[in-house]
């Protein structure tokens, strides 16, 4: 299971591996993820299994943290497992995702071990009252901005006493965009004891998929933070300048 690279790019990235004798790679897209299915053939089952193990090692070495799981694992299950293993807790602050992020996290049995809670602060006054976002930041930069995304993440982490926090604020559409801030623009914020940061993306998607992609990015940021990996932009959706 991979997230962050489109099927065509995956195919190109792994083309040489697929040519290494009796090995084929199948791809399936289930937005926002891409699933990779390697198949190896041999004269015996043990020979095929040995080839498959080697190919899988090569793929993992090539794709690194773009691979987040295997079999039926979901991103939220992987994130939950890492949080539990490391004894860390998580809180979320949501605007454009409207509770989708919290719903996905709590769909995992036992999520109460690591998920402390979340705030859906859709209106500006809710962001100020519930998360401590300054009225000056909202007035000068707008709700969909770097300072507000960071303040949301910091505010929810502080209020819940969580180790990590993520935030989402964007314009899911189909209306509400401007020339300066078009439909599809979204900021994802992150905060832990070491840093508070945010990145901007532009997802040219319908409202439903925009929310799905944003929630997946937020979960992936938590996963990458727990693994000590760099938080990166998606390679198959356009990142705003």
pLDDT digits (tens, 9 = 90+) for 15-31: 888 776 688 888 898 99
* Calpha distance 137→71 (Å, rounded): 44
Each residue of 84-142: pLDDT tens digit? 999 999 999 999 999 999 999 999 999 999 999 999 999 999 999 999 999 999 999 99
pLDDT band per the 50, 70, 90 thresholds, residue 11: confident
DSSP one-letter code for 2: B
* Calpha distance 223→29 (Å, rounded): 21
Q: Name residues whose C-beta falls within 8 Å of residue 125's C-beta, 6 or more positions apart in sequence.
A: none
This prediction's pTM: 0.92
DSSP, collapsed to helix, strand or coil, labels residue 81 as helix
Instruction: Return the pLDDT at 9.
Output: 85
Pairing assessment for the beta strands 90-94 and 164-170 based on DSSP bridges: parallel
């Amino acid at each position: 299971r991979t997230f962050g690279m489109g099927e065509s790019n995956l195919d190109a990235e792994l083309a040489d591996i697929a040519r290494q004798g009796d090995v084929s790679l199948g791809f399936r897209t289930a937005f926002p993820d891409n699933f990779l299915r390697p198949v190896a053939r041999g004269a015996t089952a043990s020979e095929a299994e040995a080839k498959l193990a080697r190919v899988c090692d090569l793929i993992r070495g090539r794709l690194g943290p773009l691979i987040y799981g295997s079999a039926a694992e979901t991103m939220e299950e992987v994130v939950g497992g890492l949080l539990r293993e490391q004894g860390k807790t998580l809180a979320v602050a949501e605007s454009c995702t409207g509770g989708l992020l919290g719903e996905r996290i709590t769909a995992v049995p036992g999520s109460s071990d690591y998920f402390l809670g979340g705030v859906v602060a859709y209106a500006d006054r809710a962001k100020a009252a519930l998360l401590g976002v300054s009225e000056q930041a909202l007035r000068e930069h707008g709700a969909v901005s770097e300072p507000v995304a960071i303040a949301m993440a910091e505010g929810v982490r502080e209020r819940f006493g969580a180790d990590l926090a993520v935030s989402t604020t964007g314009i899911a559409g189909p209306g509400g965009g401007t020339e300066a801030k078009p439909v599809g623009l979204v900021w994802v914020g992150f905060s832990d004891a070491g840093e508070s940061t945010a990145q901007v993306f532009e997802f040219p998607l319908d409202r439903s998929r925009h929310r799905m992609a944003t929630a997946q990015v937020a979960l992936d940021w938590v996963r990458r933070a727990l693994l000590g990996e760099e938080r990166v932009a998606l390679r198959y959706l356009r990142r705003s300048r």
